[in-house]
Chain A
Amino acid sequence: MSVAGSAFTVALGLSAAAAVAGLAAPRRTRPLLVGLGTTAAGVAGVVAGVAALGGGSFSAWLPDLLPLAGVRLALDPLGGLFVAVTGAVAVCAAVYGVGYVAPNAVEDGSHGDGRAVQAMLPLFVAAMLLVPAAASVSTLLVVWELMALTSLLLVLAEHRRRAAVGEAARWYAVMTHLGLLVILAGLVGFAAAAHGESFAQLRAAAGGMSPAVRGAVFATTLLGFASKAGVVPLHVWLPRAHPEAPSYVSALMSAAMVNLGVYGVLRVGLDLLGGGSRWWWLLVLAAGAGSALYGILQAVVAVDLKRLLAYSTTENMGLVFIGVGAGGYFAATGSRVLAGLALTAGLLHLVNHAGFKTVLFCSAGSVLRATGSRDLDALGGLRSRMPVTTALFAIGALAASALPPGNGFVSEWLLLQSLVHALPTSATATAVVMPLAVAVVALTAGLAVATFVKAFGVGFLARPRGPGAEQARESPPSMLAGTGLAAIACVALAVAPAAVLPGLSRAAGAALGAGAVDSVHGPVTLRLTGFAGSMSPLLIAVALLAAAVGALAGVRSLVVRRARRVARLWDCGAGPMTARMQYTATSFAEPLQRVFDDVLAPETDVDVTPTAESAYLVERVKFQARVPDRIEYRLYRPVLAATRMVGEAARGLANGSVHRYLGYGFFAFTGLLIVLAVIR
């Protein structure tokens, strides 16, 4: 057996062992055992994924494991990439989880160190490792459902503490199962048309199918995979489930699970169906552009820290979808080099997003655990109280805002390059779509800066705005270690993306069905293959560092030379300034909210209560402002209301009378017989 195969087997074995430990071990040692097992499984997953990226593929056929179909597993470079990313995120999340579930002073009760929750964590990781390795329709659907169920149980971990958890889990359960349903429909239809369900058979049969069948398969599966990736308008579960799940679960879901939606699109669309028409990929690109814009617009006005991060996930998955859509589109138009570049850029952004979103969700969890609050308007002043967490969040925020020297900048630069180099073209669709996509990426990057300046500046700097933030303490070492590992990965990806780019090119090559072409080369300076364009992340980082150090030294030398007088902070002579005078997350985002008023449709509600004596004397004024998710209100509420109406009407049919039920059975049976008699 190859390295990839044995490491993958070890990863699954360790996950199973950790799950057993979670069920059997006593409460005192349970988190440690589960954490260690999951970490080891994650490391083995990374080894397997990297080995598969390097070309060491493996496949397995276990006919007896599942009745009727059996289990078919295979790892190629494309699956290997997702296994490696999932494994790396699992390592960070598992190390972090050990400290997170330990009892602490701020929040009473356990944080999810119960048997069920602890056993679910390694199972969830194993399911996410299995999805990219599944090599037949039935295997993929089973592990996909396993992943959905385990993550659903993990989202429910804190349901006794907050009522909102139950609602979030309901949304998630319904959305993920509707997603499964359409994937099931699409893939079963595909398998029926191909007369076989292993991926090899599907791949061989896809070429002979009519474009209509292939298009239908792609469109239905895209719907399911896009809902898993949190792409607008199927994102509604994401800003609910991510904030309510324990933070290490949020990190796993947001950094690893949503990626598998992208994997599904790549596997089915590019690999199994072998490309296809342009409209498929224009659809993917449009969905990506819509989610990137809508996600970041909601993130910029969000006040809940974890909700903000969840919307940022929607945004980043949108950017990845833009890369994937552009890659597929270029492949369909015949420009292979450009397709490789766009897809590599998309995949690099996916890897980068996994890195920084792990950092951000883990540090947000540290803040939540230390202060008991996710509300940015109640945070602040954490720089002196939680210095390490603040530094880690700053690294994540820099990466997420796509500014140099963060790692997000590299992938967005590559993405923009691939879109821009498509332009000297005669095709109308390309000439219209690509400039629009460039504009979307640019606007998204700008709004992301505002979002993360807000999250970091309001959440961590200045003075504490609430009692929780005032009494915050630094997190335990294991939480810092888990977050720190991810932060180190971010820094490494920022200065040396060339280390992962060959692997990504191979994964893109596997998806596109072409030989591996390094679309970006060069160890320090990244150069595009076939196009003019180069950029050196390392040199940019060094130059920025030198400039910052130089500016600081200059200011310092100036300050030291002049006589200094210590004076009281100028407070207009009125006495001490309070924390309430500071900028809040709401006030920081207000100008942007006003600019995008028509899109966001914020709701404000003023309620004035006059005194009993006179209508002109005011006793109380209540002001409420919120920015609801407009898509949810416009798209989902009417559907939910209609479903409820149908359900309530149907309730009238069942009045509890046995005679009536027998009558229904009788009439249905005879009706069926009549129908059969007529149509036969």
Chain B
Amino acid sequence: MNNINNLFLKEPKVINIGIKSFAENAQKFTEVIDVNWNPPAWGDNKLADKIAELMEDSTPDSLGSKIKEANEKAFNRLVNSKPTLVDIVPAIEALPGMTENTILHAGAPVDWKNISGPMKGAIIGALIYEGRAENREEAEKLAASGDIEFAPCHSKNAVGPMAGIISPSMPVWVVRNDDFGNFGYATMNEGWGKTLRFGAYNDNVIERLHWMEETLAEAMKVVIKRLEGVNLKSIIGKAVQMGDECHNRDIAATNLFFKKIIPELVKSSFPADKTEEVISFLGKHDHFFLNLGMAASKAGLVAAHNIPYSTMVTAIARNGVEVGIKVSGMEDEWFTEEAPIPEGLYFPGYSKKDANRDLGDSAIMETGGLGAFAMASAPAIVQFVGGTTKDAEKYTKEMFKITLGKNTNYGMPTMAFKGVPTGIDIIKIVDKNILPIVNTGIAHKEPGHGLVGAGVSRMPKGCFLKAIERFVDKYNG
């Protein structure tokens, strides 16, 4: 314990913030660390004061100590979560409060009239798939009529990549968080290119959705039953060691999942012709695991949500118009800000001009410590973040500065098996002026086109500033 008497007896060891020559002069007499200081809170000194009040404090019963304890609890619940795939069932059966007229979407709540192009396309496709409309015109009319109830996937503990549309008949993965008893849900991933989640709704897209419902989901149900559940945590852990960050790169996780389920499918009485279809679909599909990872991440974050005084982020989600975040100690409030257009690499013929604003619930991967946060472990896709493995490492190191700890279940071989940076803290974000980064796909801004590129996106600071202000009002008002 440091006290004045100790200072008098021992040599001062100095941290210098500010004038450099102070550090240089003290350095001639003792050990000094000079901080490369920048004004915190993006230069808002009043907010900097508020942040300092919230910071960790050893004084018992102080606000700082309550926040610290709450954050430890939230972090521990997240990293101790054991997501297990236990079933696949139609959304209307799995999700509480889901009706025939419910359509779930990515991100925070958004009105039909403000909805982004790709999300609009995906809703059109979902209504056609559900048999509620024959074509785009009918679907748009129905969507605008008020008969369809739109809600965020997150409101039902579900998550959906990109547009994230979940309609009542779509099968959803049911992921149970074993020790905590809560669930996370997601649809199955359709593949790459022109797909519903990127806003495409042509006949191929609709046909594929029907096949997934009638054949793929049935096959998955058979294998899950035979395996008595699939431990997703262990697949993610291995995949990180095999070079996946489990968001933009899921090839290892997908292969591990494939390896686990295919023998069971082949051994089962599932029809041989359909088995062949399933194998051939999964065999061509490098991202199939993404949605399972997302449901797993969501299941862990649900367990960490609703802990009073916690400043840990429990959801980051983009609806194509705004980025929204949730904070553990702030109940179900969304804190939103206009979504950025991702920085990325575009397929030939497309450019940033065609890109929609950032979209999708898949940022749940970063919220859970994976994706861009684990970039150092995914050298194969480092070119999305600027081209070199050093850049990737830099991103991961930067994310350590805004997270509560390391998830040692997911060790990164390239970083001496250090655990991934986990548990985004809004206090650290504002104190250090560092915004979370998210790996992402890029959708065309008009309905019907699909995927145009992939890249990274910095979450806008407005979400975190709003969350901090509200947190202060609530707990230090």
Determine if chain A interacts with chain B. Answer: no
